[in-house]
Amino acid sequence: MTKRNAANARIKREYCIYLREAKRRDEASIDSVAKALARFEEANGHKDFKTFHRAQAVAFKQRLNKEVAVRTGKPLSRPTVNSTLSALRAFFIWLAGQPGYKSRLSYADADYFNLPEKDVRIASAERHKAFPTLDQVHHVIANMPSGTTIELRNRALVAFALLTGARDGALASFRLKHVDLAQGCVNQDARDVRTKASKTFVTWFFPVGGNALKIVHDWCHYLRATLHWSEDDPLFPPTQIGIGDNGGFEPIGLRQSECWQGTGPIRDIFRNAFMAAGLPYFNPHSFRRTLVQHGERICPSIEAFKAWSQNLGHDRVATTLTSYGAVDSHRQAELIRGMEITNGGGGGLLTALDTALVARVLAAMQNVGEGVFSKGHAV
C-alpha cells in the first residue's frame, strides 16, 4: 500500500492552487510538477517536507541519474531530469516562504537541485526534428482514399493541417463557423478552439499548392449542403461507432454536434495516412516545420516572412526561426557553398543573401538590443 503523508498532501494541494491561480499555469504543466513531487516523495520515503535538507536533494539527483525510463528501458534523458529537478527547486523555494516552513527550510538548500552546467546545456540544446517535405505531404494527401464519409473527413483533416499549420488540439475543436472560405482563412478563437495558451488569432490559408485547398472547400460544402450541418457543428467530427451488419461494433458514420475530446484519433489518422503512402509517421505538429521551411524559400521580403510568422500564431519572427526554422545540415551546406564571393574571394560582398538568413540576423540583433535596454544601458 502506498505510504501517504497528510501534511505533504495538503501543502502540495496549496502549491497547485498557487500555480493555477497566481502563476496561470495550465493543467498539463501542473500535472508535470505533481509527478516530479511524487517522484521525490517516493525516493525520500515520504518524509515530511519540513525535514528537507540539502543532502536529500543531492541524493535524489544521484538516484535520477541511475533511473531508467519505463517505456524505453534507457537512462532518463537530460531534459527529463532537468525539468524534474527544476520543478522541485521552484517548489522548495516557494515552500521556504510559507507559514510553518520558514523557520525550518533554507532558500539556499533548494539550489542543490541544480544540475551541472554541462548537463543543463545538454538538456536545453536544440536538436533537429524530422518533418515531411511539402511534396511528401502532397503525396500522402493524393494517396488517401475518399470513398466513404470517414475517408473524406480524414483526407480533409490532413489537407487542412497543411493549409493552416494548426496544432492537433485546435484541429480537434474547430467548428464550421470558424472557417471562412470566401476570405480563405480560419478564425482560431480561443473561446471555442483549443489553441496554445488560449491565444486567439486568424490564420489565412498558406499558399501550398496541390489539391489541399480544393479538398477543404469540397469537405465544407459536403457538411453544409449534403449533410445539412449547422455552423456550430464540428469541422472534423468524431467517428460514430455502432452495430454493423455482422453484429459487431464498427464505424458507421460521424457524430454530429460533438468535437473530439482528445488528439489521439487525429494522430492515428496521420499515422495511417503516412504508412499507407510508404512514408514514416509525422505528427500534425511537424507540418508547422514544413510550412516554415516553405516560407523561408518563397517569402520575397522580411515583411512577408513576418506575415508568415504571424499566420502561425507567433508574435515575433524570432519564435518562428528559433523554434521551427533551423536549417538542416544538408541545406546548410548548400547555402554556404552557393554563396559566391566577388573581387577574387577576398573580403568581397555576397552576391545573394538568403531571405531566412537576413531574418535570423535581424531577429538576433533585436534580441541583443532588448537585452541591453533591459539592463539599463543605452545604445
Domain identity same for 13 and 93: yes
CA distance 352 to 105: 60
* Domain extent for 19: 6-124
**Stretch 342-362: mean pLDDT, rounded?**
51
Would you say residue 108 lies in a domain? yes
Would you say residue 327 lies in a domain? yes
Cell 499507407 belongs to 276
pLDDT (tens digit, 9 = 90+) per residue, 102-131? 999 999 999 999 999 998 888 877 677 889
CA distance 51 to 57: 12
Domain identity same for 257 and 314: no
Domain identity same for 115 and 175: no
Last residue of a domain, one of 268, 284, 300: 284
pLDDT > 70 fraction of the chain, expressed in percent and rounded: 87
Domain identity same for 155 and 279: yes
CATH of the domain at 234: 1.10.443.10
**Residue 84's pLDDT is what?**
96
Domain identity same for 249 and 366: no
Would you say residue 234 lies in a domain? yes
Domain identity same for 104 and 26: yes
Domain identity same for 249 and 143: yes
pLDDT higher than threshold 60 for residue 138: yes
pLDDT higher than threshold 50 for residue 205: yes
pLDDT higher than threshold 70 for residue 347: no
Taken in order 154, 238, 228, 188, is the CA torsion positive or negative?
Answer: negative
Domain identity same for 295 and 236: no
pLDDT (tens digit, 9 = 90+) per residue, 50-74? 999 999 999 999 999 999 888 888 8
Would you say residue 1 lies in a domain? no
Domain identity same for 201 and 214: yes
The DSSP bridge pattern shows strands 179-180 and 239-243 to be unpaired
Q: 3-state class of 188 per DSSP?
A: strand
pLDDT higher than threshold 50 for residue 378: no
The pLDDT-based confidence of 349 (bands split at 50, 70, 90) is very low
Would you say residue 379 lies in a domain? no
Domain identity same for 62 and 78: yes
**Stretch 80-92: mean pLDDT, rounded?**
95
**Residue 352's pLDDT is what?**
47
Contact partners, residue 329, CB within 8 Å, separation at least 6? 128
Q: What is the dihedral of CA 312, 313, 314, 319, to 10 degrees?
A: -50
Last residue of a domain, one of 284, 307, 331: 284
Domain identity same for 140 and 279: yes
Would you say residue 129 lies in a domain? no
**Residue 340's pLDDT is what?**
60
Grid coordinates given for 86: 527544476
By the 8 A CB rule, do 314 and 195 touch?
no
Domain identity same for 14 and 61: yes
pLDDT higher than threshold 50 for residue 365: yes
Lowest mean pLDDT among 181-190, 288-297, 337-346: 337-346
Q: 3-state class of 180 per DSSP?
A: strand
By the 8 A CB rule, do 310 and 165 touch?
no
Last residue of a domain, one of 260, 284, 308: 284
By the 8 A CB rule, do 103 and 95 touch?
no
pLDDT (tens digit, 9 = 90+) per residue, 19-30? 999 998 988 899
CA distance 142 to 99: 63
Domain count, the chain: 3
